Chains A and B, each alone.
Chain A
Amino acid sequence: MKILIIAEHNNQILKTSTLNAYTAAQQISDEIDILVIGNACQNSIEQAAKIAGIKKVLVAESAVYEHQLAENLAPLIADVGKSYDYIIAPDTTFGKNILPRVAALLDVAMIADVIKIIEPTIFVRPIYAGNALTTVQSNDAIKILTIRTTAFSAATFTENTVAPIIKIEKVYENNLSTFINEEIHVSTRPELSAAKIVISGGRGLKSAENFKLLEALADKLGAAIGASRAAVDAGFAANDCQVGQTGKVVAPELYIAIGISGAIQHLAGMKDSKTIVAINNDPDAPIFQIADYGLVADLFTSLTELQTELDK
């Protein structure tokens, strides 16, 4: 069975999400090629060629792919992908944007947000924000999947072998959409969905200024910063750090929820974390029902104490 992985990258580096998708693919077959689409993305291509076990790197490099828009990426992926049995991408905004369009062009179903591969045709995915799991079987000739990155570990690179690189000459133009600009938040902290430790703040922090108190702690622990939807809606934190059903799904080794009550929609985004800590002054906050360690206390005092205690 032949698998095509769609690389998620920013023309400079291959995103970890690609390596999670690759691990999932390995549970189906070893015949895995990767397709890198972009512009002036030599580094991404070189990294892709070093993924341990990858067979071939297919490269579509052109100025028309600079911003990786769905309108021309989808027909390109559909054309390349039709000689494969599987097309797989991470379930990120990148994968979610493009793969359904590819599925429509190939007239096959798509299976989104796969968290478990039971057999090569049988997959488990969450529904109702993770409050139920559905096991589905695909009978389509080409199976198109997006992979929940937190459900599969990241594959590793190897220096020993480098996969052959094959250029795709045909260029797919896009006369439907144009990139205008982007505001990408640059942070020195680890990426939220890949971080080993996540510190999230909620409405309990009371202001955007107070929310910044989490930064020192995050830096001390090498953690990423997350936020509840309530904190984002109140303007304390940027939207791209929202953890939850409608934000990012995270599953770090340690998740520290500070001033977060634990609405269902937030829990959906973090309940698979290995260890959950909750600090909240409300003893009845629902977050305590899933926390491994709960501390009922004033969170501002606790934050200061945490700083000192961690220095010991």
Chain B
Amino acid sequence: MKILVAVKRVIDFKTNIRVKADQTGVETASVKMSMNPFDEIAVEEAIRLKEKKSASEIIVVSIGATTCQETIRTALAMGADRGILIQTDEAVQPLAIAKILQEIVKRENPQLVILGKQAIDSDNNQAGQMLAGLLNWPQGTFISKIEVSDHSATVTREVDGGLETLELKLPAVVTTDLRLNEPRFISLPNIVQAKRKQIDVIPVQELGIDVQPRLTILKVTAPEKRTAGIKVNSVAELVDKLRNEARVLS
């Protein structure tokens, strides 16, 4: 069974982001970039499935600028087998991402596609569900557990009230939540080995898919900053303030 994993290059999660003064977006020049953490979990899960002999090959795909090859390389160093970069310098919105992935699925015939539940930059949480819809495949979103057998996958989903377990017919699309696994550290020999693994670079135009953005971004702004209030000296003072100043307690 082949597994396709989609990875996105984003601003590293530990970085404090800065909104550009001209309100066109967020500053990315000379900012540390990494693989989207949810995608790292997706790559890790694919590798674990391969280690359990549930999968035979792991293909990692990324959509974006040439620099996304670094992100693919990271996935290869973790243990994925080969990479595909769909190259574009434009920002691609979720529906277009899903259409590109649909085309890759057509070419590669994976039985399972694993994506992060959302990218930590645009926070859309859409691409996986959209891909499943376009393919008319079952979807397991926000999963914290997966078990794969010959024709189906059993997934546990993190839903608002607790957990939900579903059985999905394969092929299927799943999206990862945080508790699915803890991604491994990459060893030096694996980094060296990953350099020899293949990455196919395909310009997005060659796919013949309409990737024009459907939403126009009018501006990006910083949220109103909340300022620190006061320090109180005792619990009695705190309760007094909450009752008589903030009036949030009776």
Contact = CB atoms under 8 A, between A and B. Distances in A.
Nearest to B169: A176
A69 B140 CA distance: 10
B158 interface: yes
Interface in A74-123: 74, 92-94, 96-105, 107-113, 122
A295 B238 contact: yes
Contacts of B29: none
Interface stretch (B52-60, B106-114, B116-124, B183-191): B116-124
Given A104-B133, A128-B26, A294 B230 contact: yes
Contacts of A96: 125, 129, 141-142
A107 B235 contact: no
B107 to A, nearest CB: 19
Nearest to B95: A109
B17 A302 contact: no
Interface in B159-180: 159-169, 172, 177-179
Interface stretch (B65-73, B82-90, B195-203, B220-228): B220-228
A177 B177 CA distance: 19
B248 interface: yes
Contacts of B120: 128-129, 245
Interface residues of A, number: 87
Which has the most chain B C-beta neighbours within 10 Å: A136, A221, A294, A302?
A136
Interface stretch (B1-9, B42-50, B211-219): B211-219
Contacts of A181: 164-165
B161 A310 contact: no
Q: Size class of B's contact patch? A: 35 or more
Nearest to A176: B138
B232 A294 contact: yes
A183 interface: yes
A174 to B, nearest CB: 9
A119 B92 CA distance: 24
A224 to B, nearest CB: 13
Interface in B131-152: 131-134, 136-142, 144
A131 interface: yes
Contact of B154 (A94, A180, A193): A180
A178 B158 CA distance: 16
A290 interface: yes
Contacts of B126: 100, 103, 110, 112
B218 A277 contact: no
Contacts of B242: 254, 275, 277, 293
Nearest to B218: A135
A293 B19 contact: no
B169 A132 contact: no
A242 to B, nearest CB: 9
Contact of B160 (A94, A110, A183, A294): A94
B95 to A, nearest CB: 6
Contact of B221 (A133, A182, A309): A133
B239 A290 contact: no
A30 interface: no
Given A275-B246, A293-B230, A109 B162 contact: no
B215 A138 contact: yes
A271 interface: yes
B93 interface: yes
A27 interface: no
A294 B214 contact: no
A137 B231 contact: no
A132 B19 contact: yes
A156 to B, nearest CB: 22
Given A132-B26, A309-B236, A246 B162 contact: no
A104 B166 contact: no
B208 interface: no
Top 10 nearest A-B pairs (CB, nearest first) are A104-B133, A292-B229, A109-B214, A100-B129, A176-B138, A101-B133, A104-B130, A305-B235, A100-B126, A180-B165
Interface of A: 67, 69-71, 74, 92-94, 96-105, 107-113, 122, 125-140, 175-185, 193, 197, 221, 229, 238-240, 245-246, 248, 253-254, 264, 271, 274-277, 288-297, 302, 305-306, 309-310, 312
8 contacts: A96-B141, A108-B214, A127-B220, A128-B26, A185-B161, A293-B229, A295-B235, A312-B239
